[in-house]
Amino acid sequence: MNIEIFNPLVWTSLTPLLGVLVLFLIPSSNESWCRLFSLWISCVTFILSLLLWLQFDSNTSFFQYVSVFKWFPYSNFYYTTGIDGISLFFIILTSFLVIICILISWSSVQTNLKDYLVCFLILEFFLIQVFSVLDIFLFYIYFESVLIPMFLIVGIWGSRQRKIRASYQFFLYTLIGSLLMLLGLLVIYYETGSTDFRVLWCFRFSELKQIVLWISFFASFAVKIPMIPFHIWLPEAHAEAPTAGSVILAGILLKIGGYGFLRFSLPMFPLASVFFTPAIFILSLIAVIYASLTTLRQVDLKKIIAYSSVSHMGLVTMGVFSLNIQGLEGSVLLMLSHGLVSSALFFCAGILYDRYKTRIIKYYSGLVQSMPLFGIVFLFFTLANMGFPGTSSFTGELLVLLGMFQVSTTLTFFSCVGVVLSASYSIWLFNRICFGVLKTEYIQLYQDISRREFFILTPLVLLTLWIGVYPYSFLNEIHCSGMNLIDLIS
């Protein structure tokens, strides 16, 4: 057993779980205490995750804050955790967005509040484990465990009548996709005798086994990210989920698929990754263009943002499989950016729904006249969503396109067409909602963003600008881990 008592990663992981245990002791009737304690414990988790960044050594590609716990040592199973530059920011983003989700739900969730907060803290624990465990079997366990609290959040606290159907669709799609991954794990264990992926990175499977295992892992990650045609569950889940559920789903859960490609598919099966790269590029390009065109046809605010997420994730997979450092770093940065921007856009949609109980665009018009602060913030995140210079999405997309340019100028050109389409649906959405004549026949009373909503949106704005204006502070930590990944592939 090798566990440091003052290891900040251990405490970052355990704090949400300790919060759940204490939350069970607070009476369900005392909702104010439940809210305050959940907010406090999520803030502590976020501060601990920032300590990981402050003490992180950016000059090495080795995993840091490593702890090993003897789990089933006779079967060579060890509970091993640690992080590198790739997983560091996903943990920070997770702990940050959980605070945002709790604040978003401060007054909108009225039924079973304690259970709702427990679901979010358990979800936070599972997600931190997904990004920190160094054992592929443990990764699979937490990868699947994430489905349970998310299934409950959508199915119980969803906003419309189809929420039960959407939660089952989300659960079954992702679970079925992961069954092939489980079979692949068993094959890997009996072939190598280990599930520690630091060992597996050094093991070289035969070309045929790499292809078969790569497909088994792809089936799971492609559903999660999601890639077309495995995206069917996403718009429905977003449309029915509560606002905080959509935020955590778009902000973090979609990133697990991309993280899986980076952590397992590329370093463990390099020959298969190169073999399937053309197919990935075709599927990604279809996602970028088709999802953008589909977004233009939507009339529901949440479905517009959901389909735009499919388009942005297409660019992410292109960057991952460009197999060069620019594309890889750009994909990580674009995932972090999307976690902030899409979360903010879903929150903006939630603000409108909380006030006017509809997400259909035709009922909105001219909101900049009655909700000027909302109009300013919505404009900012609309520009960020389309990759406007100075925002985080621009930096990520630029690096991805630079990486793609080294692979194929034709693919880069068509990817740029997707960027143009992104600007089209983003401007179209903002124009329909904020400009024009107020439709007083549908809505008589208007209210701008509240103080609580303003304080939720402000850090999202600042972080989006930070990544866009000074990306070096993030790329510096990612670079060594990215270069190590490129070395493993080559």
Contacts of 335 (CB under 8 A, 6+ apart): 90, 255, 258, 259, 316, 396
Q: At a CB cut-off of 8 Å and minimum separation 6, what does 141 contact? A: none
Instruction: Give Cα separations from 327 to 60, 103, 135, 482 (angstroms).
Output: 20, 35, 26, 10
Contacts of 237 (CB under 8 A, 6+ apart): 154, 166, 167, 169, 170, 249
* 482, pLDDT greater than 70: yes
Considering the entire predicted model, what is its pTM? Answer: 0.94
Where residue 4 falls among pLDDT bands split at 50, 70, 90? low
pLDDT reported for residue 5: 62
Q: Which residues contact 20 (CB under 8 A, 6 or more apart)?
A: 118, 121, 122, 125
> Is residue 92 within 8 Å of 335, Cβ to Cβ?
no
Query: Which two three-digit tokens encode residue 105?
Result: 């739900």
Rounded CA gap, 416 and 80, in Å?
41
Mean pLDDT of the chain: 89
Q: What is the pLDDT of residue 213?
A: 93
**C-alpha distance from residue 371 to each of 276, 350, 380, 408, 434 (Å):** 49, 15, 14, 45, 9
14-25: average pLDDT: 93
Buried b (16+ CB within 10 A) or exposed e, 214-246: bebbbbbbbbbbbbbebbebbbbbbbbbbbbbb
Q: How does pLDDT run across 430-451, given as a tens digit for each residue?
A: 998 989 888 877 777 788 898 9
Number of C-alpha atoms within 13 angstroms, CB side, residue 142?
Answer: 23
pLDDT of residue 73: 64
- In this prediction, residue 297 carries a pLDDT of 86
Question: Shortest CA distance to 397 belongs to which of 345, 337, 480?
Answer: 337
* pLDDT (tens digit per residue) in 340-353: 999 999 999 999 98
Above 90 in pLDDT, residue 358?
Answer: no
Residue 76, phi-psi category: left (phi > 0), alpha (psi -120 to 50), beta (remainder): left
pLDDT tens digit sequence for 65-107: 998 887 776 677 788 899 999 999 999 999 999 999 999 988 8
Predicted pLDDT at 344? 95
Q: Looking at residues 354-374, what average pLDDT do you find? A: 88
pLDDT tens digits for 398-425? Answer: 999 999 999 989 899 988 888 889 888 9
Q: Which is more confidently placed, 88 or 177?
A: 88
Instruction: Give mean pLDDT, residues 219-230.
Output: 86
Contact 256, 222 (CB under 8 A): no
Residue 252: pLDDT band with limits 50, 70, 90? very high
Given a cut of 60, whether residue 2 has pLDDT beyond it is no
Q: Residue 13: its pLDDT value, please?
A: 92
What confidence score (pLDDT) does residue 130 get? Answer: 95
Rounded Cα distance, 309 and 339, in Å: 10
Q: Give the largest Cα separation in the chain, rounded.
A: 71
pLDDT band of 204, cuts 50, 70, 90 = confident
Query: Residue 470: pLDDT band by 50, 70, 90 thresholds?
Result: very high
- What is the mean predicted confidence (pLDDT) over 458-479? 94
DSSP 250-271: IIIIHHHHHHHIIIIIHHH-HH
Return the SS3 of 108.
Answer: coil
